[in-house]
Structure 1
Amino acid sequence: MTELEKLKLMIGESNENLLSLLLSDATELVLSYTGRTELPVALNKTVRDLAVIAYNRMGAEGESSRSGAGESYSFDAAPKQIYDVLDRYRLVKIGGRTYEAKAEQAGDVLPPGGSP
């Protein structure tokens, strides 16, 4: 099942263009926050969670709170548990540069002993 199909099930929205945009924006946010160029598979759920939050906040952009009919709502940034997950995947800068491990290709793997 694709991430788009999972998001459709979670929120019951059928507009695939909107959902794709929300997933794309959430992915960009995650990559920017973590300093990565590729999304680790372990962060797919976090991306979906951020897309759901963005979907639920549509029409309330820029608001910090809302009240009416005896109910009040406050809008925080993403919940702390999302940042807790993202912080585990955040890359550290060393000397102003960020180093990200790349997946090794079969031809790049050295044989036992370390020399070709």
Structure 2
Amino acid sequence: MDELAGRVALMLCLDQPPETALILELLRQGEALALSFTGRASLPPGTEHCLVRLAAALYNRLGQEGETNRKEGEITVRMEMMPEDIKVMLRPWRLAKAVTLCG
């Protein structure tokens, strides 16, 4: 997890990177979101890049918790729980559920 924290700090491109504890918490929250999206108990190997991108997205949304839209003058910003590019990367790992059709 420490290696991933370093990658998140690099991706944020900040003069002063956030505390490691915050980055680790964002990685844990990102992992929980990814697990919920995929329906798995653990993420498959090779999905670490998704966690790094998701943690960076969560960092950028700090202070906007609960917002779905924001309008400032002529500019409207729409926020999603998980950015579409990360969903595209995780979609192949989603587990399908078998259902039966009645009647």
Amino acid at match of 1:62: G
The 3-state SS of whatever aligns with 1:22 is helix
- Which structure has more RCO (C-alpha within 8 Å, separation ≥ 6)? 2
Q: Which of the two has higher C-alpha Rg?
A: 1
Hey, what does 1:10 align to over in structure 2? 11
- Higher alpha-carbon deviation: 63-72 or 13-22: 63-72
Structure 1 runs (4+) deviating above 4 angstroms are none
TM-score, structure 2 normalization: 0.76
Deviations 1:11-56 (A, max 9, x none): 1323111100000011111112212222222211111111111111
How far the C-alpha of 1:69 sits from its partner, in A, is 6.0
How far the C-alpha of 1:75 sits from its partner, in A, is 1.5
How far the C-alpha of 1:3 sits from its partner, in A, is 0.5
Hey, what does 2:48 align to over in structure 1? 44
Instruction: Provide closer, same or farther for how the CA distance between residues 76 and 14 of structure 1 changes in structure 2, counting only shifts above 3 A.
Output: closer
TM-score, structure 1 normalization: 0.69
Q: Which runs of 5+ in 1 are unaligned?
A: 96-116
- For residues 1-116 of structure 1, the aligned pairs below 5 Å read 2-11=3-12, 12=14, 13-68=17-72, 71-94=75-98
Amino acid at match of 2:8: L
Identity between Structure 1 and Structure 2 (%):
31
